[in-house]
Structure 1
Amino acid sequence: MDNKKENKKRKITFTDIIIVIVILLLFSIIIIQYYKSVRMYVFNETESEPVFTRYSNFTRYANFSGMESEYKSLNISEARSSNRAATSVVVLNHHGVFANDTGLADYSGISYDRFKDQMFALKKAGYETINMEDLYLFLRGKKQLPEKSLMLTFDDGIKDSYYNADPILKKLNYTAVMFVITSQSIEKNNSKYYLNTDELHQMQNSGRWDIESHSYNAHGKVVTDEQGSAGPYLTNKIWIANEGRLETDQEYFYRVQNDLRMAKEQLEKEFNKTILGFALPYGDFGQRETNYPGSERIILDIEKPLYAMVFYQFKPVVNKDFRANFNNDPEKDFYLVMRISADYISTDNLLNEIEAAQFLDIPYTEKFDNPKRWINIWNQDISISENRLNITNNYDVYGGMAYLDGSYLWKDYIYSGTIGENGSDKVLLLSRFQNSGTYVACKYTNKSVSIINVRNRVIVSTSQINLIQTFPGLDALQSRTKLSISVVENNVGCYVNNNVIIEQDVPDIPPFGGIGIRVDGLPANKSVTFASIRVEYPYYGD
């Protein structure tokens, strides 16, 4: 009897132990999860130890001591390479900064290592960052900035970008702008993906981050037709299924206006400051995806009273604009700010693009040392080799067009180039080039030389000299022929081998703009090459 009681007592004790162990394990898991959730919003800036802030699958260690060693090994000088004032400013755009390349197929972003390489390379090359107010005052002509000033921007307001980028910014004494979606970061405030208000305040208080607008809830797609197709929120009318119709113009206007206004008001209330900037979701005014022709103009009309600057991405062939931002019109209060997309680009190519975007001085001689300096806008192969610029038709498109980045503010000049190989029957030297639809040009064919003035994609004037009648035997498109165009105020001159062929005043040409080359009638697999490209000040005479 006593043995049975003793065995029974042992069994109860063993069960109790198991229960206690299970309770302790559960309690430990709760404590760990709580610790992680608290730690998610705390950013330790201890310089001596690695820090890991766990909030997603794409976070990594920020090894401060390792970064310090790498920084010192680069022998980066804190002094800029030039004391000249900037005439243009480049703005870079990133999305997520993730631990590594894993997952980047599903997200727009860049790996931590590549981002660090980019930033360290920029620092070593003498580039320094500016903030939002600096850029606005520069564009208005109210503040001088040093040459090689640039702005870093991040879209979407996601945690990865902050926690992975901030240690690097801190080490380099760089600043950045975070464009946030306020419905996610201000209203919901509990996302594992988007930054919350505590984190945003922490960012702003660090002095390294500006918080700006990326819309209230417009970073998404809406149904755009009866078939259920989807398109960007801002650039499309919504299909109202229960009524079998699209939004009216007025409904569209009020929806977009309310979204952009709400985002600005929420941010200004939360951070007690004026919100200057708005980054367009998808970088799109309606050039690419829209069921509402004219949405670009309407979006701009909505944005202008709300934001001083609207940011969008540089995408050749779509936007057809210069990559930098110039302080050429200080009387304006509203600016469209171009950004270079830096997520999917090597460090070397990024440096080439930034360098190519810098303002160029006259006289200018093309050295053919930067493959990113000539911007291709007709989807042809544009390349540099053997001191020549090559335009090759590899896409069965009938012509090609390229312009020289950094030349946007040029006004009066003579621009020359020498034809090498020529498979085209029409070559145009473009001057005062502002975009692919606004420029003045000399057009050369085997039979004639013409002046054309293109404004908003419309040829508004043209004059032509018949070479066969006026200059018998002259072929303007022969190999080794030097072609030139001069622009002085409204006077335009076209030259062949330094001989003036046609010269006259042309009303309403663009007041300034860069240079470019256009070729028409270029058969498949044929090329046009140009050498000895030079821009000089015009000769005014005595």
Structure 2
Amino acid sequence: MHRFLYVTLVLLLWLSKAFGETLPVLVYHHIQKKVTSDVSCTPENFESQIKAIKEAGFTPLSISETAEFLSGGLKDTKKPVLITFDDGYESLYEYAYPTAKKQQVKMTIFVITARIGKKPQFTRYLNKEQIKEMHDSGYFEFGSHTHDLHTDTLRIFDAFKISDNSNPVTELIKKDLASSAETLKAVIGTAPISIAWPYGKFNEYFTEAAVQNGFKVHFTSIAGTNKRGSGVYKVKRIPVTARDTVFSVLKKLGHR
């Protein structure tokens, strides 16, 4: 009996340490009552998933806390997790914002800054006032999803197959990221320190341009979790899809 209790205690301590040594980063996109794509989820599913994450004992991080973890710090934080969104749809103001306040959970949104306030057919993007309000609430941080390269990222990335650091494409990227950083700073009052690459496409030129423009933490579409001290330039993420449930999201986070 005593041996069983000892083994159980050791196992629990090991699991506790293991949970604290890796950082899963979830990535959402759109929240819709009627889901129209695989990267959307319903408001009900989203709120249930965030509530379950909180009740499972996970600790939602800010970007600065994430940077500290990826640099080898934040050793006393239990079950860290980062919750992110790409693109910056207006649905996040309508649904994610109330959920974040209700559950008291930190979240990060990567916005395509050239689309702030835009209302193209079938979708709407966050406007400046909404971004400012969400940021000032203390529950949301904002990073870049480039200024206006989202549509052209794949074409630009292909251009690097025959490019070098003096290629005009490199200057295009630098100017775009500078515009993105300036736009966000004008809206929220502070310079953004994080960027998520569209389609997860990046190389050393993208990384260099991001660093030069003050982006300290770079997020990819590489699937997986991140070890403590694994670095800030190739952060892996876990996509949440329309098919995910509370149980599948918790499983993706490593919760049993």
Same fold (TM over 0.5): yes
* Distance of aligned partners of 1:281 and 1:84 in 2 relative to their CA distance in 1, 3 Å threshold: closer
Q: Report the secondary structure of 1:310's partner residue.
A: strand
| Code of the aligned partner of 1:262 | S
Cα distance, 1:247 vs. partner? Answer: 8.4
Structure showing the higher helix proportion among its residues? 2
CA contact (8 A) 2:86 2:111 kept: yes
Which of 171, 174, 193 is the matching residue for 1:257? 174
TM-score by length of 1: 0.40
User: Residue 235 of structure 1 aligns with which residue?
Assistant: 157
User: Residue 104 of structure 2 aligns with which residue?
Assistant: 173
In structure 1, C-alpha distance between the alignment counterparts of 2:180 and 2:156, rounded to whole Å: 14
- CA deviations over 1:286-330 (Å, ceiling 9, x no partner): xxxxxxxxxx23222322333111111234xxxxxxx2222236x
User: Residue 352 of structure 1 aligns with which residue?
Assistant: 251
CA contact (8 A) 1:100 1:112 kept: no
User: Residue 228 of structure 2 aligns with which residue?
Assistant: 327
Cα distance, 1:270 vs. partner? Answer: 2.9
Residue correspondence of structure 1 range 382-421 to structure 2 within 5 A:
none
| Code of the aligned partner of 1:279 | A
User: Residue 156 of structure 1 aligns with which residue?
Assistant: 87
1:183 equivalent to 2:91? Answer no
CA contact (8 A) 1:216 1:263 kept: yes
Cα distance, 1:139 vs. partner? Answer: 1.9
Cα distance, 1:145 vs. partner? Answer: 4.6
User: Percentage identity across aligned positions?
Assistant: 23
CA contact (8 A) 1:93 1:313 kept: no
Which of 250, 259, 272 is the matching residue for 2:189? 272
* Distance of aligned partners of 1:233 and 1:309 in 2 relative to their CA distance in 1, 3 Å threshold: farther
User: Residue 51 of structure 2 aligns with which residue?
Assistant: 120
Which of 139, 159, 162 is the matching residue for 2:70? 139
User: Residue 304 of structure 1 aligns with which residue?
Assistant: 211
Cα distance, 1:208 vs. partner? Answer: 0.9
In structure 2, C-alpha distance between the alignment counterparts of 1:251 and 1:156, rounded to whole Å: 26
Cα distance, 1:174 vs. partner? Answer: 0.7
In structure 1, C-alpha distance between the alignment counterparts of 2:185 and 2:76, rounded to whole Å: 27
User: Residue 6 of structure 2 aligns with which residue?
Assistant: none
Segments of structure 1 that go 5 or more residues without pairing to the other structure are 1-80, 222-230, 239-245, 286-295, 316-322, 357-369, 371-542
Q: Report the secondary structure of 1:199's partner residue.
A: helix
| Code of the aligned partner of 1:299 | F
Q: Report the secondary structure of 1:154's partner residue.
A: strand
In structure 1, C-alpha distance between the alignment counterparts of 2:43 and 2:24, rounded to whole Å: 22
Q: Report the secondary structure of 2:157's partner residue.
A: coil
1:94 equivalent to 2:28? Answer yes
In structure 2, C-alpha distance between the alignment counterparts of 1:274 and 1:149, rounded to whole Å: 24
Runs (4+) off by over 4 Å: 81-85, 246-249
Q: Report the secondary structure of 1:335's partner residue.
A: coil
In structure 1, C-alpha distance between the alignment counterparts of 2:163 and 2:201, rounded to whole Å: 20
How many aligned residue pairs are there?
Answer: 235
* Distance of aligned partners of 1:141 and 1:179 in 2 relative to their CA distance in 1, 3 Å threshold: same
1:313 equivalent to 2:221? Answer yes
* C-alpha RMSD of matched pairs (Å): 2.7
Q: Report the secondary structure of 2:159's partner residue.
A: coil
CA contact (8 A) 2:182 2:191 kept: no
Cα distance, 1:255 vs. partner? Answer: 1.0
Cα distance, 1:220 vs. partner? Answer: 0.7
Which of the two has higher C-alpha Rg? 1
Cα distance, 1:283 vs. partner? Answer: 1.9
In structure 2, C-alpha distance between the alignment counterparts of 1:158 and 1:277, rounded to whole Å: 18
Structure showing the higher strand proportion among its residues? 1
Cα distance, 1:193 vs. partner? Answer: 0.4
Which of 234, 237, 247 is the matching residue for 1:339? 237
| Code of the aligned partner of 2:241 | D
Cα distance, 1:272 vs. partner? Answer: 2.3
1:199 equivalent to 2:130? Answer yes
Q: Report the secondary structure of 1:114's partner residue.
A: helix
TM-score by length of 2: 0.81
In structure 2, C-alpha distance between the alignment counterparts of 1:159 and 1:311, rounded to whole Å: 22
CA contact (8 A) 1:218 1:233 kept: no
| Code of the aligned partner of 1:309 | V
* Distance of aligned partners of 1:236 and 1:256 in 2 relative to their CA distance in 1, 3 Å threshold: farther
In structure 1, C-alpha distance between the alignment counterparts of 2:19 and 2:44, rounded to whole Å: 32
Q: Report the secondary structure of 1:100's partner residue.
A: coil
Segments of structure 2 that go 5 or more residues without pairing to the other structure are 1-14
* Distance of aligned partners of 1:144 and 1:273 in 2 relative to their CA distance in 1, 3 Å threshold: farther
* Distance of aligned partners of 1:338 and 1:197 in 2 relative to their CA distance in 1, 3 Å threshold: same
